[in-house]
Amino acid sequence: MLHKIDQIIFAIPTATKDERREILNICNETDCVVKTVPGIYQIVDGDVKLSKLRPISMEDLLGREPIKIDLASITGYIEGKRVLVTGGGGSIGSELCRQIAASRPERLIIFDVYENNAYEIEQELRHNFPKLNLTVLIGSVRDSCRIERVFEEYKPQIVYHAAAHKHVPLMEGSPCEAIKNNVFGTYKTALAAIRNHCDRFVLISTDKAVNPTNVMGASKRMCEKINHHISPIQDEYIEKYGN
């Protein structure tokens, strides 16, 4: 006989964060309402009662305290600046463009090799930010002449380099493409930034670059090495994302 379950209560305070994430992901695949009990230390300290069930939050899956981002200082730095986002039509690049557009830059330049992705984010930004000074360009970071012309013409002060091949299994079958696009693309973009006196260069990297065990991770680790040696640029940063 099948049990008709409407609600799942997660009540395993001793579960590790990985076990917790795995169990909750399985629960979330059902149509049930998923709730969790307070942490064991909260109950012992008397902060909350066991009867206080609550819905699952993103913090429950994270397994640590969320990092609080100082959006005011970020907005203050971008406001009034010329900002270039390579790979601006991709999953990470497009979200960067949304956040940058809301920070009132002097100009936002999106550079992407995939015209469909570039077109979609362009239409979205023009609709949501009608006063945004937006330029969308098609081209590859592998093309030294093309990326150099972009820097010479638009003189970006801040660069977010998000253009990359990120698919782990596919890059195992095409390692040369990962190196050409990720490593040489980063080198050529960084070189153009140096030659055109860019103030800040931010490399979008991945957790796979830490002790890499695959081609994609190794290629991004090489990108980080390149980024560390961009000494002529005033500020150079690496942002890692889990993917």
Helix (H), strand (E) at residue 137:
strand 134-138
pLDDT tens by residue, 156-177? 999 999 999 988 999 999 999 9
Same domain assignment for residues 96 and 196: yes
Supply the pLDDT for residue 44: 45
| pLDDT for 41 beyond 50 | no
Q: Are 97 and 122 in contact (CB under 8 A)?
A: no
Q: Are 150 and 111 in contact (CB under 8 A)?
A: yes
Mean model confidence pLDDT for the chain: 83
Q: How do beta strands 33-36 and 54-55 pair?
A: antiparallel
pLDDT tens by residue, 86-110? 999 998 999 999 999 999 999 999 9
Same domain assignment for residues 32 and 81: no
pLDDT tens by residue, 177-212? 999 999 999 999 999 999 999 999 999 988 888 888
Give me the domain span that covers residue 200: 71-241
* Residue 223 placed within a domain: yes
Q: Which residues are catalytic?
A: 208
Same domain assignment for residues 76 and 42: no
Same domain assignment for residues 42 and 94: no
Same domain assignment for residues 49 and 78: no
Same domain assignment for residues 93 and 199: yes
Rounded distance, CA 33 to CA 8, Å? 6
Same domain assignment for residues 133 and 213: yes
Where residue 122 falls among pLDDT bands split at 50, 70, 90?
very high
Quick one: average pLDDT of 118-135?
Answer: 97
What's the domain count of the chain?
Answer: 2
| Span of 50-54, 71-75, 112-116 with lowest mean pLDDT | 50-54
CATH number at residue 58: 3.40.50.720
| pLDDT for 81 beyond 70 | yes
Q: Are 64 and 21 in contact (CB under 8 A)?
A: no
* Residue 53 placed within a domain: yes
| pLDDT for 59 beyond 70 | no
Tell whether pTM > 0.85.
no
Smallest CA-to-CA distance from 177 within 195, 187, 165 is with: 165
Rounded distance, CA 173 to CA 181, Å? 14
Quick one: average pLDDT of 63-78?
Answer: 71
* Residue 33 placed within a domain: yes
Residue 35 backbone class (left: φ over 0; alpha: ψ -120 to 50; beta: rest): beta
Where residue 50 falls among pLDDT bands split at 50, 70, 90?
very low
Same domain assignment for residues 57 and 91: no
